Each structure stands twice: as structure tokens, then as C-alpha cells.
Amino acid sequence: MNCESARTQFVDYWRGTLEDADGEFHAHLASCERCRAEAEDLRDLWSTLGAMPDEDPSMRLRVRFYDSLRTWRQREEQRRQLFGWLRHPAFQAAAALAILVLGVGTGYLMRGRDTTEVSQLRGEVYNMRQLVALSLLQQQSASDRLRGVNYAYRVEQSDPQVLSALLTTVDHDSSVDVRLAAVDALRNFSASPVGRTGLVQALGKQESPLVQIAILDQVVEMHEKAAVPAIQTLISTTGVNPEVKQHAQWALRQLQ
Amino acid sequence: MYEATDSSLMQAVREGDLGALAILFERHHRSLFNYFVHVNGNRDLSEDLVQDVFMRMLKYRQTFKPDRPFTAWMYQIARNAHVDTIAKRKFEVGLGEKEFAAVNTIDENLKRKQEIGILKRAMAMLPLEKRELLVLSRYQNLKYEEIAQILGCDVGAVKVRVYRAVRALGQIYFELAGQRAS
């Protein structure tokens, strides 16, 4: 191996990804003082380069992004609406008349209910809440994930994505506080069979006594008889906190 | 959907579900911000650029191809946004050393702090394309294949270019460090 081809492998050498099965590269470094010195000097520099600290952007960035996204969505929605009839001026008069008749008629029939515009706005706000909840639930910081759980209260109970995110949080979140908050938020989904089953299954996966007790309270509140086998397993499992076992026995009595 | 890949989320954005961009934003805005901070040394400018990149993703969403890595596409947009901004603001290609110096706010031991201070100055003196390459390969830890797609070249060329960039940085760095020692 000559100096030129050895140097093309320096980056792999620094990264620790060098494949030198036949030892040619290392043999060259051993025999060439210039390459050896350069590889070592620059390796230190490479290492210092990796030690440059990361920075956090300000909160302003997130606020700006969500504002712009909302504006963008509204604009696209408006554009979509406009395209339907503004692009066809020949139908404009007929459409305007039809809309007028339809508007008056619908307004009469739907009086007391939401207007279409209000429904759309409500849908928009709902979508944003769902997004914010889902995004926050994936954050590194426990306080952000807690905020995500709080947002989950504001979405419709039938939302499967938020329900699935909450169940994942109950099963896997590293913070007890976040798991507890997610268990509470699942109360909103008690009408959903998926939510109820998920909560029962979560019982067997929890190790924190606080979370176990919260789930027990909730399955009793929901009269979830399907939880009985899971509660019995909890009672018979060795190592489970005695207070939790006591609470589980109480829960069993309530459900039977 | 909850654990959707970047590519499937961007595909959803492309098909009109603009909200999926929020999840991509949460996943990538911090690393993009650091990419810009390391390339230009200016926090405010970097935040503007992150915002710009996500808005460009919306604008040019039809150019996203699901068979290519999302990260490569994102950094391609980031590079273009940076170049355009520099042209618009009539920035010098190498940004002021002062801006790089201001970024250093972390408590480290003195020697490391000095080394990083010199390194930031050296980075600021490096031509933009070399600085970008070092940020992508070292800070962002992208794979050679991804960098190759961003730059539109082959993997072998990436290895050589990164080596040259480190070497060029080394020349400036050791000169600055020597001046400091003498």
C-alpha cells in the first residue's frame, strides 16, 4: 500500500470503521513515519471535533413552525375551495345561485347547529391538538411528554392514534409520572375496547407500585371483568409489592 | 402511524397530510439547528434556516422520492437554503470568527475549552464546502452513502473529500494553536 491509498482510509481509521483484514493499512503506518504522524495528529483533531457541544434552539423556533404550518394548511384549504368554482367563471353565476339557495335552505334546516365554517375550524383545531399530543409524547424530556399526555385529553375519544400513543406510553415510558398521567388520560378512552384491553395488558408489564395501583383503580372504575385473570396473576406473582397485592385483592372483590 | 418512518411521514405530507410534517419537525429540528450552527456559527440565522427548510419541504414536497433516504433529501434542502440565504444576505462565505466564539457557552475543562475555541476559529476559516462536509460526517454522523447522496457523488469521493477537509482544518488549527503557544 502506498501513502496515497493509505490516506483514503484515514477517515475510516478515525471513525473505527476500517476494514483491514490483511493488515496492509497498519503495516503501512508502521513503516511510514509521515503517514503515521499525520494519522495520529489528525485523529486527535477528529476527536476534538466530535466533542464540540450541541446546542438547543429557543422555544421561539417551535412556535414559529407551528404557526407557519397552520397558516399553510389554511391557505391550502382556501385554495382548494376556490379552485372548485373560481376557475370556471361560466358556472359562477349558476353556482352562486345554487349556493345561495342551498345556503338559505341548509341554514334553515340546520339552524341551531354549527355552521360548516365552524365545523371546519373545529376540525382544524382538533387535528392540531392531535398532532401536538403525538409529537410531544415522543419527546426526550419527561415534562414535554407530560404536556403531550395533557393534550391527549383534548382529542376525541375515538382517536386511534392518540389511544395507541397513550398505551405505548403506559407500557414503555421511562418516567413513572408520565406513565401515571397516561393511565389517567386513558380514562377518556374507557368506551373503547382497545383502550380497555390495552390497560389490562399493561397491568402485567408494570413494575412500579404506583402505576399498578392506578391501573387497578381504573379497571375497577370501568367494571372491566376481563381484568380478573391479570389481577389474579399479579396477586400470585412473587416480588410484587405487598400493598399492591392487597389492593389487587380488593379490586378482585369489586369485580367478582 | 405512531412509529412511522421518516419516509412514510414525508410521503403522507406529499399526499396532502401536511400535519405529518409536525412529527418530522419534532424528530429533526434540533439536529438541523446544530448542523447550521456548526456551519455558520450564528444561532438566530440557524433558527431562521431551520424554519426555512421545513417550509421548503412543504413547498417542494412533490420532489421527495420515497425510495431515497429522507435525511439525504432534508440535508440537500438545508444546503440549498444555506447557500441562498448567504447570497441574499450578502454574507461572506466564511462567517465571522466572532460568531463562532459566541457559541461557546458550555463549561468544560480549560484545556478542552481552549482547544474547542481554536477549533471553532479554524472551522470559520475553512471554505464552506469543507466545513459542511465535516459537519455532516462528524457532528451529524451521517453515513458515507447518505453524504454521497446529498453531494451527488460516490462513496469513495466522500471519503477522500472528508480526509482533505480534515487535513485542511488541521493545517489551520495547528497554525492557530502554534501561534497561541508561541
Residues spanned by the domain of B34: 6-181
Q: Residue B42 in contact with residue B95, Cβ under 8 Å? A: yes
Taking the Cβ of residue A42 and every Cβ of chain B, the question of whether any pair is shorter than 8 Å is answered with yes
Q: What is the tens place of the pLDDT at every residue in B81-101?
A: 988 887 777 544 445 444 554
> Cα–Cα distance between A100 and A123 in angstroms, integer?
24
User: Structural domain tally of chain B?
Assistant: 1
Q: What is the tens place of the pLDDT at every residue in A237-248?
A: 888 888 888 889
- The CA distances from residue B147 to A141, A157, B159, in Å, are 30, 44, 10
To 5 degrees, how large is the angle CA A153–CA A155–CA A158? 110
Contacts for B166 with CB less than 8 Å, ≥ 6 apart = A10, A11, A14, A42, A45, A46, A49, B134
Positive or negative torsion for Cα A75, A80, A85, A89: positive
| B108 confidence band (pLDDT: 50, 70, 90) | very low
Name the stretches of chain A with pLDDT < 50.
Answer: none
- The answer to whether residue B129 sits within a structural domain is yes
Taking the Cβ of residue A126 and every Cβ of chain B, the question of whether any pair is shorter than 8 Å is answered with no
Q: In chain B, which residues have their Cβ closer than 8 Å to the Cβ of A134?
A: 2, 22-23
Residue from B113, B131, B114, B118 nearest B168 by CA: B131
- The answer to whether residue B1 sits within a structural domain is no
> Cα–Cα distance between B14 and B58 in angstroms, integer?
8
- The answer to whether residue B61 sits within a structural domain is yes
- The answer to whether residue B53 sits within a structural domain is yes
- The answer to whether residue B76 sits within a structural domain is yes
Q: What is the pLDDT of residue B162?
A: 93
What percentage of chain B exceeds 70 in pLDDT?
Answer: 84
Among the partner residues A51, A73, A130, nearest to B112 by beta-carbon distance:
A51
Q: What is the pLDDT of residue B92?
A: 47
Give the closest-approach CA distance of A25 to chain B in angstroms: 15
Predicted TM-score (pTM) above 0.90: no
Q: What is the tens place of the pLDDT at every residue in A163-203?
A: 888 888 888 888 888 888 888 888 888 888 888 888 898 98
- The CA distances from residue A42 to A6, A18, A49, A160, in Å, are 14, 16, 10, 52
ipTM, interface predicted TM-score of the complex: 0.80
Mutant choice from B138, B142, B155 vs A, greatest count of A C-beta within 10 A: B138
Quickly tell me which residue has 466522500 as its cell: B158
Q: Residue A210 in contact with residue A182, Cβ under 8 Å? A: no
**More confidently predicted of B108 and A192:** A192
